[in-house]
């Protein structure tokens, strides 16, 4: 398949027997989503060659080539014989129609049911996916449902006409860890009941291990290895497959020196509480504002050279905790930072800012698109060491970039380049260099590798571990990935709905969890 | 150390890439070139169209009548009055007998009254007046050139002031939000509901009409549209991670606004520049048409339009003025469309 002059995917051969589960694995840019979309003719402006034979309903005229079918015939197949479940349930569902209406639409279109019959069938389908109170949920709009419920609704929509093949594009990536297991079980149940084949596209190897029968590994538009899951994972042939399987984060954390524990901690919090004002409904809302507590009574202590991992799901308040630790949000309680306190005034806090720096999650929005790399990395020096002249500053910028592994030899003209020329992993390195150049004592890492591919994640974590060893940095590491915590942290804080449910040294929390929620988290990641 | 910024690898900034995309749009690019040529030419209107010769060599000395006034007596006349270079007597004296004079291609100025005209006003296009004359006997081509200059310079000044005011108010509203934003929005609503035209008429009655007064009055009301766009961009950009990272570094509010957010918020400003200019040209033309614009005697396209309306038989007045206006506005519209396509955020990756 080619877009314009650029060949995106080539030489793809795979087969799928009825009732079989095939996983298409690869990193971003490998062409897996585009391959699946092309089967249904959903890719625009693409020049596609090749054959895709699909054996449809028993009364069809034998296997047909999907890639050469006219649009009219393809429309008959889409939704009825081949269905698709997309990655982001919020954007894949139409926000203006109720969920029941959207499912009924598929039934009216393909099965020719009347409106009432379709509505009733939609409620039944929702019930099959295990949503509680399906009749009420069918009348709800997508924004009124939670993420897991939306994904179930999408699955109901896809399975409405009993398709032979289900294409699932990263069906669980946007969901919380606890929900992923449930959705996978649901897919497995429904597959057994209907005898459906499933093509799962994913970059998550755990999902492949748990769910798929066979796996095809894609790199840069080609399938580099194919086979049964057990075989490929036990004895990977291709070097890329081996690299993928080896990309689980490796623990490389040096134990704390005993001296570090006696010295004053880099950060200490007692009864930390962060709340937002929210509008109240009704007449009361005219006179008062309600309060939403995002972080409730957190206590923690970070010594020098130590990493505190904060783990929790979306909405647990961990990012709010990070912003409060940086002094960017007002809070109540005691928060001691490197011997000082945040006063929430720009001039007074400036000196303290040098000690605490941050790396954010999204590498694409954390660097200003219109500033050169030199300006971005050198900004910290401009603020905190204005006496240094332009030349000396440039030397320090180059040194900081070299420390994170970016040198002008590899990237000519490095200092004059703009962020759009770098990949996600390289941008994250630039963000780390920006934080390092002012020589902080503590770095707040807010999901630093969540947006990166698995192999790149391993490199970045390795870099962070090396920096901690060399410079005695402390990290406040926020993440939802248990593997990352296992690789990086000394102590762990588990958060749920704003409260700290469990805390302690890593061996204690992850290997012998006390709280029910921690147990679920650890089990889901295993 | 200097090898890190080696000149062999030039990395295009986002602004340069947008310029490349603009250039690829042939219509917009040639419109820009044509418009620039027209503006630069009109800046040299005195060289193109003037009733005074550019250089005169008379009896061994060089004179520059386009720059200085000379009396008739310099060229052999009888009186101390300023020389009238359209007078056949003077013309003959400075062009014969070893003397030469270089005239402007169109030998009339905007206020020149040809006392030696052979046709009644308004005169149709003839060999003396390429596009004819208006109802007062002034050459039409000269009026158009000088009038175009006044319009364009006025539009540029108005756009410039509007951009500065709009960007500053939009930035303050968008960045700080909260009560400052609410207060400003209420102010803009009240201010925007004032009737511009009537205020203009009233102020024209109180103060002596002049281009400066018009500029002040029109720019008092012209910044609000742009302010809304800039406010929206600032509201969007201030939530970006790079702004939070800058705050964590300790960058002050003013520096964040100037260095981080403003360069990323200029897209709507640049996209709307040509449309604001055409709106300014139209505004001035409309006011001149009503007689409320520039003081009488200043060359203006609107005044020509009203003359064309009053002398509908003199079709050359309406037609040529109309053509100039349409051409200008078309060029600006093409440029605006090309700019909008070049700066479209969805096409940023090409």
**Residue A46 pLDDT:** 79
Q: Do B248 and A414 make contact, defined as CB atoms within 8 angstroms?
A: no
Residue A120 has pLDDT above 70, yes or no: yes
**pLDDT tens, residue by residue, A448-488:** 988 888 888 889 999 999 999 889 899 999 988 888 898 88
d(CA A280, CA A277): 9
- What is the helix (H) or strand (E) element at residue A291, kind and residue range? strand A289-302
Please give, rounded to a whole number of angstroms, the shortest distance from the CA of A321 to a CA of chain B: 14
Tell me which chain B residues have a C-beta less than 8 angstroms from the C-beta of A362.
241
- Give me the percent of chain B exceeding a pLDDT of 90: 40
Q: Which of B250, B266, B269, B347 to mutate to test the interface with A (most CBs of A within 10 A)?
A: B250
Instruction: Tell me whether B259 touches chain A (CB under 8 Å).
Output: yes
Contact B264 A369 (CB under 8 A): yes
**Residue range A3-16: average pLDDT?**
79
Task: State how far the Cα of A303 lies from the Cα of A152, in Å rounded to an integer.
Answer: 44
Per-residue model confidence (pLDDT) at position B144: 92
**Pick among B3, B5, B265, B348 to test the A interface (most A CBs inside 10 A):** B5
pLDDT bracket for residue A59 (50, 70, 90): low
Establish if B350 touches chain A: CB-CB under 8 angstroms: no
Give the number of C-alpha atoms closer than 13 A to the C-alpha of residue A505, restricted to the C-beta side: 4
Going by pLDDT thresholds of 50, 70 and 90, the confidence category of residue A102 is very high
Q: Which residue has the higher pLDDT, A434 or B126?
A: A434
What is the CB neighbour count within 10 angstroms for residue A247?
18
Q: CB A413 to CB B263 under 8 A? A: no
Residue A58 pLDDT > 60: no
**Does the structure show a pLDDT above 50 at B31?**
yes
Find the Cα–Cα–Cα–Cα dihedral A393, A394, A400, A403, rounded to 10°: -140
Range picked from A130-139, B45-54, B180-189 for highest mean pLDDT: B180-189
pLDDT at A525: 74
- Interchain CB contact of B180 with A (< 8 Å): no
φ/ψ of A3, rounded to 5, equals -105, 115
Task: Establish if B15 touches chain A: CB-CB under 8 angstroms.
Answer: yes
Does the distance separating the beta carbons of A379 and B246 come in below 8 Å?
A: yes
Residue (of A381, A371, A300) closest to A333 by Cα position: A300
Contacts of B324 (CB under 8 A, 6+ apart): B144, B148, B301
Contact A346 B3 (CB under 8 A): no
Mean pLDDT confidence for A152-163 = 88
CA distances from A384 to A360, B40, B252 (A): 21, 47, 12
- Whether A336 and A267 have beta carbons less than 8 Å apart is answered as yes
Measured between beta carbons, the chain B residues lying within 8 angstroms of A394 are: 1, 4
User: What b/e readout covers B315-346, taking b as 16+ CB neighbours within 10 angstroms?
Assistant: ebbbebbeebbeebbebbebbbbbbbebbeee
What pLDDT is recorded for position A11? 80
Q: Say what the pLDDT of residue B9 is.
A: 53
Kindly report the nearest CA distance between residue B266 and chain A, in angstroms: 11
* Residue of B3, B4, B238 for testing the chain A interface, max A β-carbons within 10 Å: B4
Mutate to test the interface with B, among A379, A398, A433 (most CBs of B within 10 A): A379
CB contact under 8 A, B250 and A349: yes
Using the Cβ of B10 and the Cβ atoms of chain A, whether some distance falls under 8 Å is answered with: yes
pLDDT of residue B87: 79
Comparing A98 with A262, which gets the higher pLDDT?
A98
pLDDT in tens, A478-502: 988 888 898 889 999 999 888 999 9
**Contact: A353, B11; criterion CB under 8 Å:** no
Minimum CA–CA partner of A324 in chain B: B248
Chain B contacts in chain A segment 347-406 (CB below 8 A): 349-350, 353-354, 356-358, 360-362, 365-372, 379-380, 383-384, 391, 394-395, 398
Choose the closest CB to A358 out of B6, B14, B248: B248
Contacts of residue A345 in chain B, CB cutoff 8 Å? none
* Alpha-carbon distance B173 to nearest alpha carbon in chain A (angstroms): 20
Average pLDDT value for residue range A363-389? 90
Task: Give the chain A residue nearest B16 (alpha carbons).
Answer: A370
Mean pLDDT of A357-378: 91
Q: Which residues contact A25 (CB under 8 A, 6 or more apart)?
A: A32, A202, A203, A205, A208, A215, A216, A217, A218, A244
Closest residue to B1, CB basis, from A368, A369, A394: A394
Residues of B within 8 A of A358 (CB-CB) are 244-245, 248
Mean pLDDT for the stretch of residues B26-33:
93
C-alpha–C-alpha distance, residues A210 and A234, integer Å:
14
**pLDDT band of B350, cuts 50, 70, 90:** very low
What pLDDT was estimated at residue A339?
78
By C-alpha distance, the chain A residue nearest B264 is A370
Residues 174-213 on A with a CB inside 8 Å of B are none
Handedness of CA A55, A57, A60, A65 (dihedral sign): negative
For A328, the closest of B3, B10, B244 (CB atoms) is: B244
pLDDT (mean) for B33-47? 92
Instruction: Look over chain A and give the mean of its residue pLDDT values, rounded to a whole number.
Output: 86
Whether B253 and chain A come into contact, CB under 8 Å, resolves to: yes
A408 interface with B at CB cutoff 8 Å: yes
Predicted pLDDT at B1: 41
Tell me what percent of the residues of chain A surpass a pLDDT of 90. Answer: 22
Confidence of residue A402 (pLDDT cuts 50, 70, 90): very high
pLDDT at residue number A395: 93
Q: Is the model more confident about A4 or about B300?
A: B300
CA distance B329 to A405: 53
Identify from A370, A385, A395, A424 which residue to disrupt to test chain B contact, counting B C-beta atoms within 10 A and taking the largest count: A370
- The partner residue sitting opposite A365, judged by closest CB among B12, B240, B259, is B240
Q: How far is A300 from chain B (nearest CA, A)?
A: 21
- Residue found under tokens 């070299």: A402
Banded model confidence at residue A69, pLDDT cuts 50, 70, 90: confident
Give the pLDDT score at B6. Answer: 42
Residue B3's pLDDT band (cuts 50, 70, 90): very low
pLDDT tens digits for B185-213?
Answer: 999 999 999 988 888 888 877 888 788 88
Phi, psi of A410 (to 5 degrees): -75, -35
Q: What is the pLDDT of residue B68?
A: 80
Task: State the Cα–Cα distance between residues A138 and A59, nearest whole angstrom.
Answer: 33
Q: Write down the pLDDT at residue B347.
A: 61
Interface contact B14-A380, CB threshold 8 A = no
Residue B349 confidence class, pLDDT cut points 50, 70, 90: low
Q: Alpha-carbon torsion A314, A94, A78, A2, what sign?
A: negative
Cβ separation A346–B244 shorter than 8 A: no
From residue A11, give the alpha-carbon distance in Å to each of A14, A60, A221, A237, A242. 10, 28, 8, 18, 21
CA B272 to chain A, closest CA, distance in angstroms equals 20
CB-CB under 8 Å, B242 with A367: yes
User: Cβ atoms within 10 A of the Cβ of A203, count?
Assistant: 18
Distance from CA of B67 to the nearest CA of A (A): 47
Q: What residues of chain A, 16 to 55, have a C-beta less than 8 Å from chain B?
A: none
> What whole-number percentage of chain A has pLDDT above 70?
98
pLDDT tens profile A19-38: 889 999 888 778 888 888 88
Q: How many residues does chain B have?
A: 350
Q: List, for residues A80-92, the tens digit of each pLDDT value.
A: 888 999 888 888 8
> What's the pTM value of the predicted model, to 2 decimals?
0.81
Chain A: closest CA distance from residue B247 (Å): 8
pLDDT band at A13 (very low <50, low <70, confident <90, very high): confident
Residue count of chain A = 526
- pLDDT digit string, tens, across residues A204-257: 888 888 888 899 998 888 888 888 888 888 888 888 888 888 877 777 777 777
Looking at beta carbons, which residues of chain B come within 8 Å of A383? 249-251
Give the mean model confidence (pLDDT) for residues B62-91.
81
Residue B162, C-beta contacts closer than 8 angstroms, at least 6 positions apart: B219, B222, B223, B226, B276
Give me the mean pLDDT over the B73-79 stretch: 81
Give the pLDDT confidence score for residue B2 in this predicted structure. Answer: 41
Q: At CA B19, angle to CA B16 and CA B22, rounded to 5?
A: 160
pLDDT for A4 beyond 50:
yes
Put simply, whether B239 touches A (Cβ < 8 Å) is no
Alpha-carbon distance of B219 to B160, in angstroms, equals 9
> Cα–chain-centroid distance for residue B36?
11
pLDDT of A192 strictly over 70: yes
- ipTM of predicted assembly, 2 dp: 0.79
Whole-Å CA distances, A339 to A263, A264, A268, A269:
11, 8, 9, 12
* Cβ contact A353–B250 (<8 Å): yes
Residue B278: the pLDDT is 92
Q: Test A415 with B5 for CB contact under 8 angstroms.
A: yes
Contact B248 A362 (CB under 8 A): no
Out of A350, A357, A366, name the one closest to residue B242 (CB).
A366
For B36, the token pair is: 């620039």
Tokens found for residue A479: 């993440």
Most confident of A110-114, A259-263, A400-404: A400-404
CB–CB contact A413 B5 (8 Å): yes
Q: Which tokens go with A490?
A: 């000394």
Contact A328 B249 (CB under 8 A): no
The residue among B292, B309, B339, B262 whose CA lies nearest residue B35 is: B339
Closest residue to A353, CB basis, from B3, B249, B264? B249
Region A279-296: mean pLDDT is 84
> Of A316, A298, A300, A318, whose CA–CA distance to A308 is shortest?
A300
- Whether residue B254 lies within 8 A of chain A, CB to CB, comes out as no
- pLDDT single digits (tens) B249-302: 888 899 999 999 999 898 889 888 999 999 999 989 998 998 888 888 888 999
């Amino acid at each position: 398949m080619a877009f314009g002059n650029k060949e995106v995917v080539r030489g793809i051969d795979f087969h799928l027997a009825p009732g079989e589960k095939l996983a298409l694995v690869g990193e971003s840019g490998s062409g897996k989503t585009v391959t699946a979309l092309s089967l249904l003719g959903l890719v625009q402006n693409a020049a596609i060659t090749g054959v895709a034979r699909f054996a449809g309903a028993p009364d069809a005229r034998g296997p047909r080539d999907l890639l050469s079918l006219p649009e009219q015939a393809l429309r008959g197949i889409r939704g009825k014989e081949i269905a698709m479940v997309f990655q982001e349930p919020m954007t894949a569902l139409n926000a203006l129609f109720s969920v029941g209406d959207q499912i009924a639409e598929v039934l009216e279109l393909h099965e020719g049911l009347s409106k009432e019959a379709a509505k009733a069938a939609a409620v039944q389908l929702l019930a099959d996916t295990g949503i509680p109170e399906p009749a009420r949920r069918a009348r709800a709009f997508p924004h009124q449902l939670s993420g897991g419920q939306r994904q179930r609704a999408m699955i109901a929509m896809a399975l409405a006409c009993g398709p032979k093949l289900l294409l699932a594009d990263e069906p669980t990536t946007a969901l919380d860890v606890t929900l992923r297991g449930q959705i996978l079980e649901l897919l497995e149940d429904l597959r057994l009941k209907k005898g459906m084949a499933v093509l799962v596209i994913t970059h998550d190897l755990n999902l492949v291990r748990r769910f798929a029968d066979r796996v095809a590994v894609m790199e840069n538009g080609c399938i580099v290895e194919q086979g049964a899951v057990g075989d490929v994972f036990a004895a990977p042939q291709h070097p890329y497959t081996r690299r993928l399987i080896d990309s689980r984060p490796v623990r490389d954390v040096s134990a704390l020196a005993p001296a570090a524990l006696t010295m004053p901690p880099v950060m200490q919090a007692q009864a930390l509480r962060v709340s937002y004002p929210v509008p109240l409904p009704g007449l009361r809302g005219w006179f008062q504002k309600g309060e939403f507590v995002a972080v409730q009574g957190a206590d923690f202590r970070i010594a020098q050279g130590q990493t505190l991992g904060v783990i929790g799901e979306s909405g647990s308040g961990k990012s709010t905790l990070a912003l409060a630790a940086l002094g960017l949000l007002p809070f109540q309680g005691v928060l001691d930072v490197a011997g000082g306190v945040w006063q929430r005034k720009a001039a007074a806090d400036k000196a303290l800012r040098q000690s605490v720096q941050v790396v954010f999650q999204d590498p694409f929005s954390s660097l200003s698109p219109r500033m050169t790399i030199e300006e971005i990395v050198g900004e910290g020096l401009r603020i905190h060491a204005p006496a240094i002249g332009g030349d000396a500053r440039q030397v320090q910028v180059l040194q900081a970039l070299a420390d994170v592994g970016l040198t002008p030899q590899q990237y000519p003209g490095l200092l004059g380049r703009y962020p759009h020329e770098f990949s996600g992993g390289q941008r994250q390195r630039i963000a780390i260099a920006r934080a390092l150049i002012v020589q902080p004592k503590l770095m707040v890492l807010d999901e630093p590798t969540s947006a990166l591919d698995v192999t790149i994640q391993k490199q970045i974590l390795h870099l962070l571990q090396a920096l901690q060893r060399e410079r005695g940095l402390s990290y406040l590491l926020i993440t939802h990935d248990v593997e990352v915590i296992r690789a990086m942290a000394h102590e762990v804080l588990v958060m749920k709905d704003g409260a700290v449910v469990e805390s302690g040294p890593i061996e204690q929390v992850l290997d012998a969890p006390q709280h029910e929620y921690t147990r679920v988290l650890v089990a889901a990641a295993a | 150390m200097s090898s890190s910024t080696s000149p062999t690898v030039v990395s295009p900034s986002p602004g340069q890439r947008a310029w490349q995309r603009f250039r690829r749009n042939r219509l917009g690019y040639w419109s820009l070139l044509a418009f620039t040529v027209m503006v630069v030419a009109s800046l040299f209107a005195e060289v193109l169209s003037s009733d005074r010769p550019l250089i005169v060599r008379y009896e061994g000395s060089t004179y520059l009548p386009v720059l200085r006034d000379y009396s008739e007596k310099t060229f052999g006349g009888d009186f101390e009055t300023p020389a009238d270079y359209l007078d056949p007597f003077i013309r003959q004296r400075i062009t014969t007998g070893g003397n030469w004079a270089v005239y402007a291609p169109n030998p009339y100025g905007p206020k020149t009254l040809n006392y030696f005209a052979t046709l009644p006003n308004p005169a149709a296009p003839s060999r003396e007046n390429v596009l004819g004359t208006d109802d007062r006997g002034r050459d039409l081509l000269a009026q158009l050139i000088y009038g175009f200059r006044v319009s364009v310079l006025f539009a540029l000044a108005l756009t410039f002031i509007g951009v500065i005011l709009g960007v500053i108010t939009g930035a303050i509203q968008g960045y700080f939000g909260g009560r400052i934003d609410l207060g400003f929005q209420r102010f803009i609503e009240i201010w925007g509901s004032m009737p511009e035209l009537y205020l203009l008429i009233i102020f024209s009655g109180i103060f002596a009409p002049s281009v400066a007064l018009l500029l002040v009055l029109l720019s008092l009301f012209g910044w609000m549209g742009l302010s809304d766009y800039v406010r929206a961009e600032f509201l969007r950009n201030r939530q970006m991670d790079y702004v939070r990272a800058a705050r964590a570094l300790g960058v002050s509010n003013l520096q964040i606004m100037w260095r981080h957010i403003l360069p990323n918020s200029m897209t709507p400003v640049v996209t709307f520049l040509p449309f604001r200019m055409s709106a300014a040209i139209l505004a001035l033309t409309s006011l001149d048409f009503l007689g409320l614009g520039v003081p009488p005697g200043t060359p203006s396209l609107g005044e020509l339009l009203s003359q064309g309306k009053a002398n509908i038989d003199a079709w050359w007045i309406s037609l040529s003025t109309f053509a100039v206006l349409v051409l200008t506005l078309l060029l600006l519209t093409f440029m605006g469309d090309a700019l909008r396509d070049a700066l479209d955020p969805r096409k940023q990756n090409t």
